[in-house]
Amino acid sequence: MSTVQLVSEDSSHPIVRRVFDDIKATKKIDHIPNIWRALATHPEHLELCWTRLKAIMAPGRVDALTKEIIALAVSATNGCNYCINSHTAAVQKLGLTLEQLGEVLAVVGLFNQMNKLADAFQVTPDILPKDW
């Protein structure tokens, strides 16, 4: 159960109204996901989060599917249940197959292991990026 009462999808608060309508239009969905209804308890924060997410997730030099794959990799590494579900649904909707999901998660698992081994041995960085 959420720690705040979720704001109604029909809220008439002007900021909430504007953001909720934009979420529906942008994501082409007809309901407001719970995370946005929770954030709406502080309308200014809701708007900051949404406008920033919208800007960052818009396809640019990196495509939408890759962005959602990154979101899933981060969410799995952090163990966030809500986000794992929602980003798994998102990559699926964008066409990732079950076989590809298996490959993505294999990489996520692998580097969660390798990160800890590199830390555990305290190895000094020796592979550095060049000037871009």
Binding to a copy of itself (CB under 8 A) within 26-55 occurs at 33-35, 38-39, 41-42, 44-45, 48-49, 52-53, 55
CA–CA distance, 37 with 20 (Å, rounded to integer): 9
According to the binding rule CB under 8 A, does residue 103 interact with a copy of itself? yes
| Region binding a copy of itself by CB under 8 A among candidate stretches 9-17, 18-26, 98-106 | 98-106
Nearer CB in complex with a copy of itself: 21/45: 45
The mark string for 2-31 relative to a copy of itself (x by CB under 8 A, - otherwise) is xxxxx-------------------------
Residue in 10, 28, 81, 95 binding a copy of itself, rule: CB under 8 A: 81
Nearer CB in complex with a copy of itself: 18/42: 42
Q: Over the range 9-47, which residues count as b (16 or more CB within 10 Å of their CB) and which as e?
A: eebeeebbeebbeebeeeeeeeebeeebbbbbeebeebb
Q: Please, what is the minimum distance in Å from the beta carbon of residue 77 to a copy of itself? A: 4
- How many chain residues touch a copy of itself (CB under 8 A)? 86
Closest by CA position to 68, among listed 89, 40, 38: 89
Length of the chain (residues)? 132
Task: State the residue for tokens 């640019």.
Answer: 60
Half-sphere exposure of 91 (CA within 13 A, CB side): 24
